[in-house]
């Protein structure tokens, strides 16, 4: 009788532990995107990247004393979608920062604010930001910074 109670207790504890583990795995859905990172100004996560890409557009630099032209990046197009994981409606502001290979800030672009972003909703259209000129040639990776606003 005593053995049956111990076995029942262990079974209940193991079942609870198993179910708790499943919930944690379902909540953690953070994806990694090449050369793009998401940063938030709060301790608890508000959004996650549902999709992101960085597409360089190449051109050539021609000068009189050059034997062959040099291939350069003329512009970089960044597209991304956000997914609200805060569990409530959000108002957020987004800033896109471009960095070079030495972790120096090359450029900062403010993207439009997003108001009344519903809980557990993923944006249906891509957000698009373009950096052109010499700064684009130096940019190697991007940080998308999200801040909650009133």
Beta pairing, strands 36-40 & 47-61: unpaired
CATH code of 31-148, in short, is 2.60.40
H or E segment and range at residue 4: helix 2-27
8 A C-beta contact, residue 30 and residue 62: no
pTM: 0.73
pLDDT tens, 84-130? 999 999 999 999 999 999 999 999 999 889 999 999 999 999 999 99
The H or E element containing residue 95 is strand 90-99
Q: Which residue has the tokens 């030495």?
A: 102
Judge whether residue 3 has pLDDT over 60.
yes
Stretch 23-47: mean pLDDT, rounded? 67
**40 - beta bridge partners?**
146
Per-residue pLDDT of 69-87, as tens digits, reads: 888 999 999 999 999 999 9
Distance separating alpha carbons of residues 1 and 137, to the nearest angstrom: 76
């Amino acid at each position: 009788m005593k053995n049956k109670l111990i076995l029942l207790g262990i079974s209940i504890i193991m079942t609870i532990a198993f179910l708790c583990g499943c919930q944690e795995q379902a909540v953690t859905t953070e994806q990694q995107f090449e050369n793009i990172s998401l940063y938030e100004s709060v301790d608890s996560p508000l959004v996650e990247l549902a999709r992101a890409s960085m597409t360089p557009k190449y051109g050539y630099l021609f000068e009189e004393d050059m034997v062959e032209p040099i291939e350069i990046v003329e512009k970089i197009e960044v597209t991304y979608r956000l997914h609200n994981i805060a569990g409530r409606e959000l108002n957020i502001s987004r800033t896109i920062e471009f960095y070079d290979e030495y972790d120096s800030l090359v450029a900062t672009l403010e993207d439009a604010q997003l108001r009344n972003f519903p809980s557990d909703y993923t944006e249906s259209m891509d957000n698009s930001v373009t950096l052109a000129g010499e700064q684009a040639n130096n940019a190697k990776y991007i940080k998308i910074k999200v801040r909650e606003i009133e």
